[in-house]
Amino acid sequence: MSSNVQVHVIDDDDAMRDSLCFLFETSGLVAQAYPSAVAFIEAMPHVGGCIVTDIRMPEMTGLELVRMLRVMGSTLPVVVMTGHGDVPLAVEAMKAGVIDFLEKPFREETMISAVMSALKSGEETARRDAMRDGVLARRDQLAPRERQVLDALVDGKANKVIAHEMGISARTVEIYRANVMTKMQAASLSELVRMVLLASPQ
């Protein structure tokens, strides 16, 4: 696995951290350990991967970590570990965006499966983000009139309607439309619409 993809293990229990790192590394994954959520936030490595964290820790809980990561704009997927009495807290963490939670004690195979799912989810998110960034960059290169035509096309307006609203000829709209398709690298109108919807805020 690429060295820029890691499993970030966060737990205040030294034995649990060491055990998990050993498990991940013997499974062919790259693991990095942190003794607390605060230590992870302070280090905040600029790498991909996922986070495996205990839900109940001093200074900052796993749930508080998840909420802080979302505020910071991090898209790293998170798997939380919870004791039996912390299940309601884990469910709350799921609602805050956690990928999965595992009750202790858990089987090694279950943890590996959860982490692999989280890593796959993270890769898909990174791919979508890269695509969105590309679309936004290309859209920013459009001239003002081309941007108007793009917005109108995405709204489902026909060339004649666009021409009337912009006070230009239908032929000019066609020229702008062709320029938009070329600059946005779209092979069809449907692909153009999908691009813009992908780049739009949810």
Pick among 3.40.50.720, 2.40.50.100, 3.40.50.20, 3.40.50.2300: CATH of 5-127 = 3.40.50.2300
Return the CATH number of the domain spanning residue range 141-199.
Answer: 1.10.10.10
DSSP line for 98-144: -SEEEESS--HHHHHHHHHHHHHHHHHHHHHHHHHHHHHHHHHTS-H
pLDDT in tens, 71-102: 888 888 999 998 877 778 878 888 888 888 89
The mean per-residue pLDDT over the stretch 26-41 comes to 93
Closest CA to 52 of 27, 31, 25, 68: 31
CA atoms within 13 A on the CB side of 150: 27
- What DSSP state is assigned to residue 186? -
Helix axes 189-199, 144-154, angle to 10 degrees: 100
d(Cα 136, Cα 67) in Å, to the nearest integer? 27
- ∠ at Cα 63 (62, 68), nearest 5°? 95
Same-fold call for 5-127 versus 141-199: no
Please say whether the beta carbons of 160 and 170 come within 8 A: yes
Give domain limits for the chain.
Answer: 5-127, 141-199
Q: Is the pTM of this model over 0.75?
A: no
What pLDDT digit, counting tens, does each position of 132-180 carry?
889 999 999 999 999 999 999 988 899 999 999 999 999 999 999 999 9
